[in-house]
Amino acid sequence: MKTVYDFTVKDRKGNEVSLSDYAGKVLLIVNTATGCGFTPHYDPLEAMYKEFKDQGFEILDFPCNQFANQAPGTDDEIHEFCTLKFKTEFPQFAKIDVNGETADPLFAYLATEKPFTSFGKGLTAAGLKKFADMNNKAFGGKAYIKWNFTKFLVDREGNVVSRFEPTVDMKEVREAVAAIL
């Protein structure tokens, strides 16, 4: 049975990193963007990381520029923005694609394990759905991720247990992480 530990990704310097290096830890894998309306999620993500990292928790940050070009810049520029503005300390990897023919295999796997269901209810969800649908038409059946700051919770055995769209309250994400730890 495949798990996230079967994947290799690139760090922001281009070095290959096996996710098996994170075996035994609870992971929150996130596709991010520095110019998105959800970029403030970095604050509660960093707070969660500081609170839980000593309990075997890691956040793996994958910048992506496929959603309205909201992650421009090089890997180093993105990293500098995140560390200076949000004081992030969790691992940040190389910028990737999460949709289409060039989608990183990790994100195709994550989305297959926990497919998109909805953005939820409310004005933000309705507005985001309309915008995401327009943006993701180009990816057709390979629009695995609907928007920036989609989060996947992975247990200590490498199994994907939950998917959180960017419209989910970060308190709910924190509660899910705390429960699995």
Show which residues are catalytic.
Answer: 36
Q: How many CA atoms lie within 13 A of 111 on its CB side?
A: 23
Between CA 6 and CA 20 the distance in angstroms is 7
- Bridge partners, 163 (sequence order): 152
**């705390």: which residue's tokens?**
178
Instruction: Name the burial class of residue 171, with classes exposed (0-12), middle (13-18) and buried (19+) by CB atoms within 10 angstroms of its CB.
Output: exposed
Instruction: Name the burial class of residue 155, with classes exposed (0-12), middle (13-18) and buried (19+) by CB atoms within 10 angstroms of its CB.
Output: middle
- Cβ–Cβ under 8 Å, residues 181 and 52: yes
Longest dimension (CA), the chain: 41
